[in-house]
Structure 1
Amino acid sequence: MITQDQFQALLSFEPSEQKVLSLYLNTDSSEEPTEAIKLKAKNLLRQVSGLAADVQAVETYLNHSFDWKSPGLALFSSRGGDFFESFPTAVSFRNRLRVTPKPYLKPLGHLLEHYAHYGVILVDRVGARFFAYHLGTLQESNGFLGEEIQKLKQGRGSSAIGRRGGVGGGSREEENARRNLRDAANAAVDFFGNKPIRRLFLGGTAENTAQFRELLPKQMQSCLVGSFVMDMNAGEHEVRTETLKLLQTANAEREKKLIKTLVGTSASGGAAVLGLDDTLEAISNRRVQTLLLSDGFQMPGYVDYNSGFVVANLAKSPLSDRELTAVDDVIDSAFTLSLNQGAHVEVIRDDPDLENAGNIGALLRF
């Protein structure tokens, strides 16, 4: 699993004459055999020319070092394998290969943005289980067990008295359940209180999760992005699989809103730009607050790494091509420069509204 410090180190990679081979793989061996995955990787690597030692370093790692327990894998190799980094992940990637002056980081950036620090609570009328995840990997878990609820048979004992107006067994059961839910909510606050949770999911019956939600403090309620039906005794793998699906859905909904804001702000003449040239100009001027990119969007261009200047159309550049470095993918350079400037970057897959807007745009600081 990659850390933020490791990601920053990759961002700070100094380009040289020798390019970087970046390979992302779906290594989920539950979907297909490892030999089939290796073959797909080998076919991708056949597209590379001039980096034979780096190709060999990657193949050696896949054949002898990778344990094939992780669904995703990001690999970076340069200088004949002298620079080599591998990052197994709990979330799979789309298979892709890039050869660029710097590590190709958009898929890793997407992973760090969308799957960082989320929590799950399973709750029923007796107790709760808590899970803290980061990048799809379980970091910590705990639980709470309240008072067992004894159900009385209908029409017997105090439950019958309760129907005539007294305090019956049914009422005591409900009060015990409410107390358990309150205590479980307090336990959840203790568990998640010192963790940087950004999103929170509730699992259980619809009735229990609705009641439990209201017992959480406002700050935790603001992190809630979804609920799902699941048995309290479900295995951790089942919990993780279900919440990863919910997280993808929640992220897609958030992206839709962000793109709508971008397009609407641009149309009204607000602080936003759409399209390649205007967005690259905003990056060069350090005006970008949030950069939005279509996943897979590539375009050749030019960059000056020292000043942070990036351009696709030389007719719009105050610098000549002799003063700039030509790159095969100026979009990747825009991604890296924006992150280094402190901008928020979203890599968005298969969104027609963003594609119609030119596959790139930005909300601006000023």
Structure 2
Amino acid sequence: MITQEKFQTLLSFEPSEQKVLTLYLNTDSGEEPTEAIKLKAKNLLGEANCMEADVQAVETYLNHSFDWKSPGLAVFSSRDGDFFETFPTAVSFRNRLRITPKPYLKPLGHLLEHYAHYGVILVDRIGARFFTYHLGELQESDGYMGEEIHKLKQGRGSSAIGRRGGTGGGSREEENARRNLRDAANVAAEFFSNKPIRRLFLGGTAENTAQFRDLLPKQMQSCLIASFVIDMNAGEHEVRAETLKLLNTANAEREKKLVKTLLGTSASGGAAVLGLDDTLQAISNRRVQTLLLSDGFQLPGYVDYNSGFVVANLAKSPLSEPELTAVDDVIDTAFTLTLNQGAHVEVIRDNPDLENAGNIGALLRF
């Protein structure tokens, strides 16, 4: 599994004359046969005929080392520099190949940002099950079982007890269910108390999840993203699949809001820039707080790695062409520089508003 520390190491990769081959693959063998995935990989690698040793290393890994249990795979190779890293993931990638001076990291950065540390609670009137996930992989699970609820038969005491002023059968059932929900919420709070959960999902019937939500601590309620209908006894694989779908939906909504904020801030004359030249200038000046990029957007440009200056249009550069290093993908360079500056980067998928604004923009620190 990719870690934040390993990602930082990849970010710090020192470029050299030897390029890095980066391959992202959708390796979900449940969607299509393994041999079909290998053929797609082979076709992509055909674009890297100038890097025969790296192509051979990747094909050897796919044929002999990769276990095909993970639906996603990222590979980085620069054989002359003795550099070969693989990261199977529980979340699939779009197929793509890049040959760049440094590892191409935007899809991996998106994975770390949107699929890190989330929790799931399944609840019914008797108990609850708890799950923690990181990058789509199950980390820990537990559960709680309360008092079993016995329904009284119709006409055997429920109404009679009620007439005598006691507690009717239906009332006892409801009280037992409420007590079970309260106890389950307390156990859930303890289970998640020491876990770095960013997002939380509730599963069960609409009635049970609504009642359970109000019993959780405020801090856990603030992490709740969505509730969904699922059987309490559903298998873990189904739980994971359903919550990944919900994460994708939540991420898409979040991206729309970010783009709307960017465009609105720019339109009102606030601390924001749009378009390639102004955004690259803001990165060079270390003014960026959050960089937004359209997924797949790439253009050639220039960089001075020592100063962190990046530019696409030489007419906008105070440095001459001999003082700069030409790069095939200045957008990926901007991505790496921004993260190294401690700023935040969002790779936005399929957003026409951002595309119409030039595919790139940034909210600024000042």
TM-score tier by shorter-chain length is over 0.9
How far did 1:111 drift? Answer: 0.3
Q: How is 1:109-148 mapped onto 2 (pairs within 5 angstroms)?
A: 109-148=109-148
Percentage of matched positions with identical amino acids: 88
Partner of 1:240: 240
* Residue-pair matches, total: 366
Which residue identity lines up with residue 308 of structure 1 in the other structure?
Answer: G
Which residue identity lines up with residue 96 of structure 2 in the other structure?
Answer: R
Partner of 2:42: 42
Give yes or no for contact 2:127–2:146 (8 Å, CA) kept in 1: yes
Structure 1 residue runs of 5 or longer lacking an equivalent are none
Q: Deviations over 1:190-209 (max 9, x none)?
A: 11110110000000000000
Partner of 2:206: 206
Local SS of the residue matching 1:133: strand
How far did 1:80 drift? Answer: 3.6
Give yes or no for contact 1:274–1:357 (8 Å, CA) kept in 2: yes
Partner of 2:317: 317
How far did 1:166 drift? Answer: 3.5
Q: Deviations over 1:323-360 (max 9, x none)?
A: 11000000000000000111111101110011011100
Q: Distance in 2 between matches of 1:160 and 1:46?
A: 81
Give yes or no for contact 1:293–1:348 (8 Å, CA) kept in 2: yes
Which residue identity lines up with residue 205 of structure 1 in the other structure?
Answer: T
Local SS of the residue matching 2:289: strand
Q: Distance in 1 between matches of 2:219 and 2:35?
A: 47
Partner of 2:335: 335
Give yes or no for contact 1:154–1:160 (8 Å, CA) kept in 2: no
Give yes or no for contact 2:303–2:324 (8 Å, CA) kept in 1: yes
Q: Distance in 2 between matches of 1:217 and 1:131?
A: 17
Give yes or no for contact 1:110–1:346 (8 Å, CA) kept in 2: yes
How far did 1:49 drift? Answer: 2.9
Q: Distance in 2 between matches of 1:218 and 1:281?
A: 42
Give yes or no for contact 1:51–1:80 (8 Å, CA) kept in 2: no
Q: Distance in 2 between matches of 1:295 and 1:276?
A: 14
Give yes or no for contact 1:57–1:81 (8 Å, CA) kept in 2: no
**Distance 1:162-1:45 versus aligned 2 partners, 3 A rule:** same
Q: How is 1:1-366 mapped onto 2 (pairs within 5 angstroms)?
A: 1-80=1-80, 82-162=82-162, 166-366=166-366
**Distance 1:81-1:154 versus aligned 2 partners, 3 A rule:** farther
Local SS of the residue matching 1:46: helix
**Distance 1:352-1:156 versus aligned 2 partners, 3 A rule:** same
Q: Distance in 2 between matches of 1:165 and 1:365?
A: 67
Local SS of the residue matching 1:47: helix
Give yes or no for contact 1:159–1:170 (8 Å, CA) kept in 2: no
**Distance 1:161-1:55 versus aligned 2 partners, 3 A rule:** same
Deviates more, 1:77-86 or 1:217-226: 77-86
Structure 2 residue runs of 5 or longer lacking an equivalent are none
Which residue identity lines up with residue 46 of structure 1 in the other structure?
Answer: G
Q: Deviations over 1:252-305 (max 9, x none)?
A: 111111110000000000001111001000100111110100000001000111
**Distance 1:147-1:308 versus aligned 2 partners, 3 A rule:** same
Which residue identity lines up with residue 21 of structure 1 in the other structure?
Answer: L
Q: Distance in 1 between matches of 2:83 and 2:98?
A: 16
Which residue identity lines up with residue 168 of structure 1 in the other structure?
Answer: G
Q: Distance in 1 between matches of 2:250 and 2:321?
A: 43
How far did 1:165 drift? Answer: 5.2
Q: TM-score, normalised by structure 1?
A: 0.98
How far did 1:155 drift? Answer: 2.2
How far did 1:107 drift? Answer: 0.3
Give yes or no for contact 1:291–1:363 (8 Å, CA) kept in 2: yes
How far did 1:153 drift? Answer: 1.6
Q: After TM superposition, which residue ranges in structure 1, 4 or more long, deviate above 3 angstroms?
A: 163-166
Give me the CA root mean square deviation.
Answer: 1.0
Q: TM-score, normalised by structure 2?
A: 0.98
Q: Distance in 1 between matches of 2:343 and 2:135?
A: 21
Give yes or no for contact 2:18–2:81 (8 Å, CA) kept in 1: no
Which residue identity lines up with residue 212 of structure 1 in the other structure?
Answer: F
Q: Deviations over 1:153-193 (max 9, x none)?
A: 22221344326753111111111111110110011111111
